[in-house]
Structure 1
């Protein structure tokens, strides 16, 4: 892990897409989570902190295939495609098959503030990978979400991941406590 004195942050917004956010199964507390993410985007921009946004790309037969309306990032997400870095992925881990790690290293980023969807897939695998790659990941406890499953409620999934990832893989913080 990089030393505490040299941590340069970036914000990573994961899979905040029309088809996932507005699909038939609605994410847990989705409007609150979106507002928290937008607060972090505004604060990161004000502090001059780089913002990276990733969008999951499904295969051609998927509702979230490249270019489809459901694949697009939410129009209410306060990103600026002229200044923020947007990239696509095909796996839950935001680092796998992408240039994310290289871009972070090139920008001397050592701390990654992670928000978005879905908790048990892309958030979990990206947090673990970020830690394994030597970044200092911060998971924003109240700025990631998912949907209920047949086995667990979304709240239980989120609470479980916050508890499991905290310490071993990430530092857990709430939106209000993030200082860029």
Structure 2
């Protein structure tokens, strides 16, 4: 059984100064995945990346709130993380196991940081990992455009770290 893990779709990233590539399409994809997971009775976990108190990423900062575009039902598990890898220093692995999940479907932000780190860690912890090819994004960097970062990670992660599947081809 697979659970859905949505990473860091927060106000500060979605509405920040660096516009995420294909953000509206990614949000639609994630909302569709959440609907599908609900219908299948799969667990839905949403990570909020936070920083120290008093910083712009403090747990109570408006920037760390989940983006209002997410269509939440109230039955999701929302947890805080302080590292790119959503399993590091959190109870995520135990929480997934407690709902019977042997696999995790990963979507969210940012591709080259939290999405990458979490995909790599999931398999090391014994979970089958699926990355939704069109369900993650980032912003352009000085070195690469976001579309190239996403394409690179889809190609690099597929196989040794996870399956990479388009949302339309995934079913919980």
Q: TM-score, normalised by structure 2?
A: 0.97
- Select between 84-93 and 103-112 the one with higher mean Cα deviation: 103-112
Cα distance in 1 between the residues matched to 2:54 and 2:14: 19
1:41 correspondence with 2:34:
yes
Instruction: List alignment gaps of at least 5 residues for structure 1.
Output: 1-7
1:127 correspondence with 2:119:
yes
By how many angstroms is 1:41 displaced? Answer: 0.5
Residue in 1 that maps onto 2:90? 98
1:140 correspondence with 2:132:
yes
By how many angstroms is 1:111 displaced? Answer: 1.1
Please tell me the root mean square deviation across aligned C-alpha atoms, in Å. Answer: 0.8
Residue in 1 that maps onto 2:160? 168
Instruction: List alignment gaps of at least 5 residues for structure 2.
Output: none
By how many angstroms is 1:64 displaced? Answer: 2.1
Cα distance in 2 between the residues matched to 1:70 and 1:62: 10
Deviations 1:46-100 (A, max 9, x none): 111110000000223432211111110011101233x111100000000001000
What is the number of residues matched between the two proteins?
172
Cα distance in 2 between the residues matched to 1:137 and 1:20: 24
- Runs of at least 4 residues of structure 1 off by over 3 A? none
Q: TM-score, normalised by structure 1?
A: 0.93
